[in-house]
Amino acid sequence: MRMGHLDGEGRGHGHGHGHGRRGDQAQRGSREHHGGREGGRDPRGAQTFRRGRVLMFLEQLQVKRARLAKQLVQPEFEAIRPTLSGELKALDQIIDEYVHLFDLQEIGEEPRPQGPVDGGEGND
Protein backbone atom coordinates (compact mmCIF):
# COMPACT_ATOMS: atom_id res chain seq x y z
CA MET A 1 0.00 0.00 0.00
CA ARG A 2 1.35 3.40 -0.96
CA MET A 3 1.39 6.09 1.70
CA GLY A 4 0.99 9.78 0.87
CA HIS A 5 2.49 12.69 2.73
CA LEU A 6 1.43 12.78 6.35
CA ASP A 7 0.69 15.98 8.21
CA GLY A 8 1.45 16.41 11.90
CA GLU A 9 -1.66 14.49 12.94
CA GLY A 10 -1.02 11.40 10.81
CA ARG A 11 -3.53 12.30 8.08
CA GLY A 12 -2.50 12.06 4.45
CA HIS A 13 -2.84 14.80 1.86
CA GLY A 14 -4.80 14.27 -1.33
CA HIS A 15 -7.96 12.97 0.31
CA GLY A 16 -10.08 16.07 -0.18
CA HIS A 17 -9.08 17.63 3.14
CA GLY A 18 -8.33 21.35 3.04
CA HIS A 19 -5.34 22.62 1.13
CA GLY A 20 -5.39 26.15 2.46
CA ARG A 21 -5.94 29.24 0.38
CA ARG A 22 -5.89 27.59 -3.03
CA GLY A 23 -9.01 25.51 -2.37
CA ASP A 24 -10.77 28.42 -0.66
CA GLN A 25 -10.14 30.69 -3.63
CA ALA A 26 -11.32 28.06 -6.09
CA GLN A 27 -14.56 27.58 -4.19
CA ARG A 28 -15.16 31.31 -3.76
CA GLY A 29 -14.39 31.93 -7.44
CA SER A 30 -16.79 29.20 -8.45
CA ARG A 31 -19.62 30.72 -6.41
CA GLU A 32 -18.90 34.21 -7.73
CA HIS A 33 -18.68 33.00 -11.31
CA HIS A 34 -22.03 31.19 -11.07
CA GLY A 35 -24.10 33.97 -9.58
CA GLY A 36 -23.19 33.41 -5.93
CA ARG A 37 -25.19 30.20 -5.56
CA GLU A 38 -23.82 27.63 -3.17
CA GLY A 39 -22.85 24.55 -5.15
CA GLY A 40 -22.11 26.63 -8.19
CA ARG A 41 -24.15 25.12 -11.02
CA ASP A 42 -27.64 25.54 -12.32
CA PRO A 43 -29.29 22.11 -11.93
CA ARG A 44 -31.16 22.59 -15.22
CA GLY A 45 -27.83 22.76 -17.04
CA ALA A 46 -26.96 19.29 -15.79
CA GLN A 47 -30.37 18.00 -16.83
CA THR A 48 -29.94 19.50 -20.30
CA PHE A 49 -26.50 17.90 -20.60
CA ARG A 50 -27.83 14.50 -19.48
CA ARG A 51 -30.80 14.77 -21.85
CA GLY A 52 -28.39 15.53 -24.69
CA ARG A 53 -26.37 12.43 -23.83
CA VAL A 54 -29.56 10.34 -23.66
CA LEU A 55 -30.63 11.58 -27.10
CA MET A 56 -27.18 10.90 -28.56
CA PHE A 57 -27.28 7.33 -27.24
CA LEU A 58 -30.78 6.84 -28.68
CA GLU A 59 -29.53 8.04 -32.05
CA GLN A 60 -26.63 5.55 -31.86
CA LEU A 61 -29.09 2.74 -31.13
CA GLN A 62 -31.19 3.78 -34.12
CA VAL A 63 -28.13 3.83 -36.40
CA LYS A 64 -27.30 0.27 -35.26
CA ARG A 65 -30.91 -0.74 -35.89
CA ALA A 66 -30.84 0.70 -39.42
CA ARG A 67 -27.57 -1.13 -40.14
CA LEU A 68 -29.04 -4.45 -38.93
CA ALA A 69 -32.20 -3.92 -41.00
CA LYS A 70 -30.08 -3.20 -44.08
CA GLN A 71 -27.95 -6.31 -43.51
CA LEU A 72 -31.07 -8.41 -43.06
CA VAL A 73 -32.04 -7.91 -46.73
CA GLN A 74 -28.55 -8.20 -48.24
CA PRO A 75 -27.80 -11.56 -49.90
CA GLU A 76 -24.27 -11.82 -48.46
CA PHE A 77 -25.80 -12.06 -44.97
CA GLU A 78 -28.22 -14.87 -45.89
CA ALA A 79 -26.36 -17.41 -43.73
CA ILE A 80 -26.77 -15.34 -40.56
CA ARG A 81 -30.25 -13.96 -41.28
CA PRO A 82 -31.82 -15.64 -38.19
CA THR A 83 -29.13 -14.11 -35.96
CA LEU A 84 -29.59 -10.66 -37.52
CA SER A 85 -33.34 -10.95 -37.11
CA GLY A 86 -32.95 -11.83 -33.43
CA GLU A 87 -30.55 -8.95 -32.86
CA LEU A 88 -32.94 -6.58 -34.62
CA LYS A 89 -35.85 -7.68 -32.42
CA ALA A 90 -33.73 -7.32 -29.28
CA LEU A 91 -32.55 -3.86 -30.33
CA ASP A 92 -36.14 -2.81 -31.05
CA GLN A 93 -37.10 -3.86 -27.53
CA ILE A 94 -34.16 -1.95 -26.04
CA ILE A 95 -35.06 1.18 -28.01
CA ASP A 96 -38.72 0.93 -26.94
CA GLU A 97 -37.76 0.52 -23.28
CA TYR A 98 -35.22 3.35 -23.50
CA VAL A 99 -37.77 5.72 -25.09
CA HIS A 100 -40.32 4.81 -22.43
CA LEU A 101 -37.84 5.05 -19.54
CA PHE A 102 -36.61 8.52 -20.50
CA ASP A 103 -40.02 9.69 -21.80
CA LEU A 104 -38.63 10.41 -25.27
CA GLN A 105 -40.06 10.60 -28.73
CA GLU A 106 -38.13 8.55 -31.22
CA ILE A 107 -36.01 10.75 -33.46
CA GLY A 108 -38.00 11.80 -36.52
CA GLU A 109 -41.31 10.82 -34.93
CA GLU A 110 -44.13 13.33 -34.47
CA PRO A 111 -44.68 14.40 -30.84
CA ARG A 112 -47.41 12.51 -29.06
CA PRO A 113 -50.46 14.60 -28.13
CA GLN A 114 -50.46 15.70 -24.49
CA GLY A 115 -54.13 16.61 -24.13
CA PRO A 116 -57.40 14.99 -25.17
CA VAL A 117 -57.32 13.62 -28.70
CA ASP A 118 -59.91 14.95 -31.17
CA GLY A 119 -62.03 12.32 -32.87
CA GLY A 120 -60.63 13.35 -36.26
CA GLU A 121 -63.66 15.40 -37.34
CA GLY A 122 -63.75 18.99 -38.59
CA ASN A 123 -60.73 21.33 -39.08
CA ASP A 124 -60.49 20.71 -42.88
Would you give the DSSP letter of residue 40? S
d(CA 121, CA 106): 27
- The predicted-structure confidence for 49-75, as pLDDT tens digits, reads as follows 888 999 999 999 999 999 999 999 999
The predicted structure's pLDDT at residue 122: 47
d(CA 38, CA 32): 9
Would you give the DSSP letter of residue 118? P
Cα 23 vs. chain centroid, distance in angstroms? Answer: 31
Average pLDDT value over all residues in the chain = 72
What ranges in the chain are assigned the alpha helix state H? 21-33, 43-72, 81-101
For the entire predicted model, the pTM comes to 0.51
* Cβ-Cβ contacts under 8 Å for 92 (sequence gap 6 or more): 65
The DSSP secondary structure of 102-113, one letter per residue, reads TT-PPTTPPPPP
Return the exposure string of 79-107: e unless at least 16 CB atoms fall within 10 Å of the residue's CB, then b: eeeeebeebbeebeeebeeebeeeeeeee
